[in-house]
Amino acid sequence: MKKLVLFSLVLVFGAMSTYSQGRFQAGGHLGLPVGDAGDLATFAIAIDLAYILEIDDNISAGPRIGYSHSFGDEANIGGFTVDIEDVQFLPIGGRAQFDITDQFLARAELGYALGINDGNDGGFYWSPQAGYSITETIDLILSYRSVSLDGDSWDIVSLGVDFWFN
């Protein structure tokens, strides 16, 4: 099922690049799990791919897909040390971006994060972001990433770099 979803998204992204005028974006992020996630994981990495269409001079939006991997920690439970498994998500959704100035931007991402590791059902994904454009093709991004999980949430604060391609 997950391979089918990923294959379908690759086809959609490919078709969009053929029939519309937008830009591809790829990014890599390092993060720190916070809240309950901070008790179970040490740090996180994430990669993102998006195809963004310009709606107005300052507003753009489009589909995005990513991969998030949080590295499990050790926990002391009843006097025993237990290794916590890594937690992985495949967030799929959309992104809207507002260019505040030529250098500063604000983003919002919404979607669903598929759980990849065993016992992870995934959940609603949302991420507010702020960025600074270093060049026309490189952005520095500060983000808060959250996945709602049956009354709990998996939260990460991350810093990353996005690269834009025409």
Q: What is the pTM of this model?
A: 0.83
> Position 104: which residue type?
F
Q: Kindly state the tokens that stand for 35.
A: 């809240």
Domains with residue ranges and CATH for the chain: 2-165 (2.40.160.20)
3 pLDDT exceeds 80? Answer: no
Q: Which residue has the tokens 């937690």?
A: 87
Interval 92-102: pLDDT, tens: 999 999 999 99
CA dihedral 50, 51, 52, 53 (to 10 degrees): -160
Q: Average pLDDT of 1-29? A: 66
Interval 77-90: pLDDT, tens: 788 888 999 999 99
Interval 123-150: pLDDT, tens: 999 999 999 999 999 999 999 999 999 8
Length of the chain in residues, anyone? Answer: 166
Helices (H), ranges, the chain: 2-19, 36-40
5 pLDDT exceeds 80? Answer: no
Q: Which residue has the tokens 């030529």?
A: 102
Sheet strands (E) in 35-86: 41-54, 59-72, 74-77, 80-83
Q: Which residue has the tokens 């269409």?
A: 53
7 pLDDT exceeds 60? Answer: no
113 pLDDT exceeds 90? Answer: yes
Helices (H), ranges, 20-128: 36-40
